Amino acid sequence: MAGGVNEASAPVMFGPDPAPAASWLHGQLAALRRHWWLPLAGLVAALLLTTVYLHRTTYFYSAELKVYAAPASAGVVRPASALSSLAALTGGGSSSEQVPPFRYYLDGLYAPEVAARLARDPALMHVIFAGEWDARHHAWHQPFSLTGAVRGALFGLFGLPVPAWQPPDAARLQDFITGTVTVRQSVKSPLATLAFDFPDPDFAAQFLTRLSDATDTWLREQQSARTNGNIAYLADRLDHTSDMAVRADLVTALAEQERQAMLAHDGVPYAAEAFGAASAGFDPARPRPLALLIGAALAGMLAGAALALLRARRVAARAPF
């Protein structure tokens, strides 16, 4: 139609108009520019607080000890006939394979018996529970803890039992080991890594070595007592048996028990052997100062930016800040 509007040539718009979104973003940026000092103040405050914290906090260093199954007793396989005869004579079940001691070693690190052995060393206990040891009076004391006081007050308010403080003993040392010593093991490597964090890196490395040695010694003594008992029983049966077939089985079983006793003798690792000495890193494992400072700086700036936007919104709404 002459003089009319050509509808076909008019542009067709789909979707929301981007103008409101751009206007909103422009307003937020303008608010940040007007109140630029708030993100800066948040950055400075966060860095100051983090610096004070880093000067007052306790740094923990991570020590590691790599261990593997001791070659002398790893994957020991007993003769099936000897095991069957021994099981029949002692009234137990039969098995053709002995569980490698290394499997017991990894769980034995947290055993009460191991903690009891270590707890006999007063010097070790004084270092681990240093906050509860009064070197001047040579006595344990209950340390003050704000968290403990608040928890005790809340427990008392609701009628819950409040556990009484007890001086450090083997049970507390076992809890400490369970909560601080970790074991990392990969299916791709025969090595297992024991890790332990402590403020004193030298003590951390020494403690891992002591813990590993105590666990290995405990398992060795258990095996030694077991095999010595079996040897005594088999020897007695051998002295009172005239049946040649039974005697042959007893001799085979006795030889196997003698070999087990030899593997459990002192002087060589029984269940686990260290793959090098325990060592601790030079840099603290926690907290990490650089990462903490960067995180605090970002958090402070974001908090300041959020405060700046909130202030701009209240000013725009003519509300008191």
In angstroms, the CA 194 to CA 105 distance is: 12
φ and ψ of 239, to 5 deg? -70, -20
Give 273-292 pLDDT, tens digit per residue.
Answer: 999 999 998 888 888 889 99
Most confident of 118-127, 270-279, 306-315: 118-127
Q: Answer whether residue 302 shows pLDDT above 80.
A: yes
**What's the whole-number average pLDDT of the chain?**
82
pTM above 0.75, yes or no: no
For residues 18 and 60, the model is more confident at: 60
In angstroms, the CA 121 to CA 210 distance is: 11
Predicted local distance difference test score (pLDDT) of residue 93: 47
Q: Which of 12-26, 69-83, 235-249 has the lowest mean pLDDT?
A: 69-83
Task: Kindly report whether the peptide bond that precedes residue 287 is cis, defined as omega within 30 degrees of 0.
Answer: yes
How much is the average pLDDT of 26-53? 87
- Tokens standing for residue 119: 């707890």
For residues 74 and 153, the model is more confident at: 153
Class of domain 61-133+160-280: alpha beta
Give 155-214 pLDDT, tens digit per residue.
Answer: 777 878 877 888 999 999 999 999 999 999 988 889 999 999 999 999 999 999 999 999
